[in-house]
Structure 1
Amino acid sequence: MHLIHAAFRPLVPDAVLPPHPSELFLSAARPDERVEHVVTHPHARPHPVIGVFLLADSLDEAESRAEAFLRRVLTTEPSLTAWELVSATVPLMTPLYERLLSSPGLAGQNRPRPIPST
C-alpha cells in the first residue's frame, strides 16, 4: 500500500472544500483504482492536502493512478469543480526523521543510546 499526498488549490477566490471531502473521494473510487482509504488535511499550507492510500506495484504506478483518480473526481463531482490538482506525490519522510533525531531529549527509541561497552 502506498500513500500519495495530493495538494489542491482553488480556481476561484475563497473556495471552500465541501464537508467531509475524504468520504466524497472514497465514495467516488472505483474498484479498479484500488483506493483503500482517503484522509483530508484541509488546513495544510500552502494548499489543502488529500492523502490517498492505494494498492500499487510501484511508487510510479501509485502516483500515476492516484493522479488519474483525483483528476477524474475533480471533474465529475460538482462540489469539487472549483478546485484543481497541484501535485500528487509520495510524501518525503526524511525531514520528519531528521527532526526527530536532532531534537533534544533523553536517549530512547528515536535517539542514539550509549555504547554498551562504556
Structure 2
Amino acid sequence: MGPIEVKCRCGEKNCKEWAIIELQGVIEAQSEEVQNNLQNLEIGRICRPSSQESYTFTIGYHELTGSKVTLKKPLLVLKKVKHSDGDQSRSSESSTNMELDVIGIVRQKILFKTRPRALISSSKKA
C-alpha cells in the first residue's frame, strides 16, 4: 500500500473549529439499545454562563464543573475517503486509493477534572 494523502479543502482559516471534552471516569449507557446506536445520542448538556469562564456539564443527576484549556499542539479531524480506479483487472489493493480529508481542527479542550456533584431535587408535598 502506498502513501496516504492528507488534503485540506477547506483552507486553514476556514476549517471548522472542534473541541474535545475530557472527563475523569466512565459514562455508561443504561440500556442495550443505546449501546448499539450512539448516533444522535444526547449524553448531557454543557453550559457556560456568559459572565464566567467555567463550564458545567449535566449528565443525568450529576453535574461537573470544568474549564477551557488550549492544547499545546492542535489536532486534525480527518475523514477517510476511498477512491476506486476504473481498471478492475488490477488487484483490489492497488485499485483503491485512500485519502484523508481534513474536516476540522481541535485547538481547545474542555477539561472536567473534578468529581461530579449530585443534583438532588426535593419533592414537593401537597
Q: TM-score range by the shorter chain?
A: under 0.3
Structure 1 or 2: larger helix share?
Answer: 1
TM-score (norm 1): 0.26
Larger radius of gyration: 2
Structure 1 or 2: larger strand share?
Answer: 2
TM-score (norm 2): 0.25
